[in-house]
């Protein structure tokens, strides 16, 4: 199984079918979706399995576009998902969703910093975007902590989001 990266406390790897129940525990909690397009639509078992199968079929191997399972090393527990989604040419969108029991531990910041570091080192991308709903203070704070600059409010997926961006200074 391909490992995308590790941090001090976390491992991000490809999905396997054995992850369905564990990811369902995270994604079926409506609080995880409070500030997402899935607000009021927590995932069910079918949606979770479809997502995992889709990501497995993509067979991502490079850090410029991927989605992976976030594993807490100490417990070997799947606690969320993260990745880079296509957005603009050579400038993907960062995403992470962490299970509620793991909020407030700095995991999103830890993931974000490593994603940026690895993507900039290995991929020829020019930058990475981050989006959060304006009222999502926690996600906005994470985007700032990982070095992203606030660009203002823009429409994204049929609602206004706060946009952030970090440029790859290695690529000029």
**Domain coordinates of the chain in residue numbers?**
3-167
DSSP letter assigned to residue 19: G
CB 128 within 8 A of CB 93: yes
Distance (Å, whole) CA 85 – CA 119 = 12
Tell me what pLDDT residue 37 has.
79
Contact criterion met (CB below 8 Å) for 29 and 41 = no
CA distances from 29 to 16, 34, 92, 97, 98 (A): 21, 10, 26, 11, 11
Q: Homologous superfamily of 3-167 in CATH? A: Gcn5-related N-acetyltransferase (GNAT) (3.40.630.30)
3-class secondary-structure state, position 95: strand
Q: What is the pLDDT of residue 45?
A: 96
pLDDT attached to residue 132: 95
Q: What pLDDT, on a 0 to 100 scale, did the predictor assign at position 122?
A: 81
Written as six digits, the tokens of 144 are: 């700032």
Q: What is the pLDDT of residue 13?
A: 97
Cα–chain center distance at 168: 18
Residue spans of alpha helices (H) in 31-106: 45-58
Task: Return d(Cα 114, Cα 98) in angstroms, integer.
Answer: 16
pTM of the predicted model, to two decimals?
Answer: 0.93
User: pLDDT below 70 — which residues of the chain?
Assistant: 123, 171-172
């Amino acid at each position: 199984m391909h490992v995308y990266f590790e941090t001090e406390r976390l491992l991000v790897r490809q999905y396997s079918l054995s992850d369905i129940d564990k990811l369902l525990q995270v994604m079926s909690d409506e609080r995880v979706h409070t500030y997402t397009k899935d607000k009021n639509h927590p995932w069910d078992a079918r949606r979770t399995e479809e997502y995992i199968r889709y990501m497995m079929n993509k067979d991502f191997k490079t850090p410029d576009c991927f989605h992976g399972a976030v594993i807490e090393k100490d417990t070997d527990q799947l606690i969320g998902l993260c990745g880079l989604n296509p957005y603009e040419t050579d400038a993907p969108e960062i995403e992470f969703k962490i299970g509620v029991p793991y909020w407030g531990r700095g995991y999103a910041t830890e993931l974000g910093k490593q994603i940026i570091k690895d993507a900039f080192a290995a991929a020829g991308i020019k930058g990475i975007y981050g989006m959060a709903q304006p009222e999502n203070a926690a996600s906005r704070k994470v985007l700032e902590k990982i070095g992203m600059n606030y660009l203002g409010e823009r429409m994204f997926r049929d609602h206004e989001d706060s946009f952030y961006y970090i440029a790859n200074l290695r690529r000029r």
